[in-house]
Amino acid sequence: MPGPTTYPSDKQFTGVAKEVTPGTPVAPTWTFPVEKFDPEDKPNWLVDKAMRGSMVDEYGLLQGVIHSEFSMSGPFFGDGCGFLLNNILGDMAESGTYTGSGTTTLSSSAAVGATTISTALSIASGTRIQIDTGANAEVVVTSGVPTGAGPFTIPVPALRFGHNSAVVVQPVTTPYSQVFAVLNSGLAQPGTLTFTDWQGPPATSQARTFAGACLSELTLKGNAETELVSFDAKGLAWGSVIAGTIPTAAPTTAQPIAAWRTALGLGGVASGGTQDKTIGSWEIKIMRKLKPYFTGQNSQNPFIIQRGAVTATGKLVFIVPADESKSLLYMLNNAQPQFQWTVTNAGAGAALLGLTVDVQAAAFDTAKINRGAEAVGYDDTFKCVASTTNAGQSGGYSPVKVTLQNAVAAGTF
């Protein structure tokens, strides 16, 4: 006789994919190795209190609109965290490592959404190229046979950015970089995600999808002595539905990164004379205002989850400061130094995974002496002051800029 049907918790996994239309579920394209994915559907209950001549005051309970809330946490994986960063920030520039030959230039300007570019030299179909540099850089794979005798017309996927004539176009390979900042152009609304959560009990597919997902918080953190680099996140989504098919776990083969590999810079970049080696633990928290709007659209789900302003804060624990020049005086003098956190797995080429967090102005707002351990320390917090230096291609201001290095193909996030 077969035993009762049960679903082991150890088989749980969570997949993610970027959506084409907000709130329309899509199948997972990435398995997120998380320690926790904790979703909850939150319907609004409507009480019927219309008097009926009885000694009661509630006669019915109807279901109103619905949304879901989720939280998640786990080790930082440099090849998947881009889904979260692009969701909460929205401005992303992609670049790659030059292959060493084949450089050309645009023969004419290219508009946002263009599906061809004009170049001085021909580029074979299927070539991965980087168009432009810096905040305007984007990586695409040429998608058709070139035409023309020079300049050449090169088919490409729809461009995310506009590019001026004569900018550099060159073939690239791994490692790739994705640079994230606050999206300030257009409607300033980043794309949405579908999370697919394998749970077991849902009929047929054993999984539920949480579409239209928007992050309200993303924390990146580390402790040199005891932790991996890790993350916490939470946000809102549409009400869940049963997934259309049974999802398959396909986790990354990459490894997380030990926090001791971190370098931290105060007053400059995390190298040379600006590196601070007395910090034992650290975190950066990015926060975004969210508001679900419900309208008369014959649907319980939100019409939109509107994204609002972005803020960011940081925490530093100076466990062995030699003096109070940074741990206390940065706050007392309102110095607002540059802060940079960088960490890699020490890999090379396609094996490289890296993270860099840049804050142009870290305004220290608390600094408390800590005498609870063998060495005197300080526990500090700071606010990330928005600056144009941290901004991306969309311009404006951003409190933080985050760069990933990995082998993830263009357009994944």
The residues near 87 (Cβ < 8 Å, ≥ 6 apart) are: 190, 191, 192, 193, 213, 214, 215, 235
pLDDT of 3: 83
User: Is the preceding peptide bond at 175 cis, omega within 30 degrees of 0?
Assistant: yes
Q: What does the pLDDT look like over 45-55, one tens digit per residue?
A: 999 999 999 99
pLDDT of 344: 96
Q: What does the pLDDT look like over 209-256, one tens digit per residue?
A: 999 999 999 999 999 999 999 999 999 999 999 999 999 999 999 999
Q: What does the pLDDT look like over 314-337, one tens digit per residue?
A: 999 999 999 999 999 999 999 999
Q: What is the mean pLDDT of residues 186-204?
A: 97
pLDDT of 1: 63
Task: Say what the pTM is.
Answer: 0.95
- Do you know the residue count of the chain? 413
pLDDT of 318: 98
pLDDT of 2: 75
pLDDT of 272: 78
Instruction: Take residue 281 and report the two structure tokens written for it.
Output: 């633990």
* Class of residue 296 by CB neighbours under 10 A (exposed 0-12, middle 13-18, buried 19+): exposed
Q: What is the mean pLDDT of residues 292-309?
A: 98
Per DSSP, the residues of 264-329 read EEESS-SSGGGB---EEEEEEEEEEEEEEE--SSS-SS-SEEEEEEEEEEEEEEESS-SSSTTTTH
Q: What does the pLDDT look like over 303-317, one tens digit per residue?
A: 999 999 999 999 999
Q: What does the pLDDT look like over 12-34, one tens digit per residue?
A: 999 999 999 999 999 999 999 99
Per DSSP, the residues of 24-66 read -----SEEE--SEEEEEEEEEEEEE----SSS-S--EEEEEEE
Q: What is the mean pLDDT of residues 139-168?
A: 94
Q: What does the pLDDT look like over 121-132, one tens digit per residue?
A: 999 999 999 999
Q: What is the mean pLDDT of residues 387-399?
A: 97
Q: What does the pLDDT look like over 61-115, one tens digit per residue?
A: 999 999 999 999 999 999 999 999 999 999 999 999 999 999 999 999 999 999 9
Q: What does the pLDDT look like over 354-373, one tens digit per residue?
A: 999 999 999 999 999 999 99
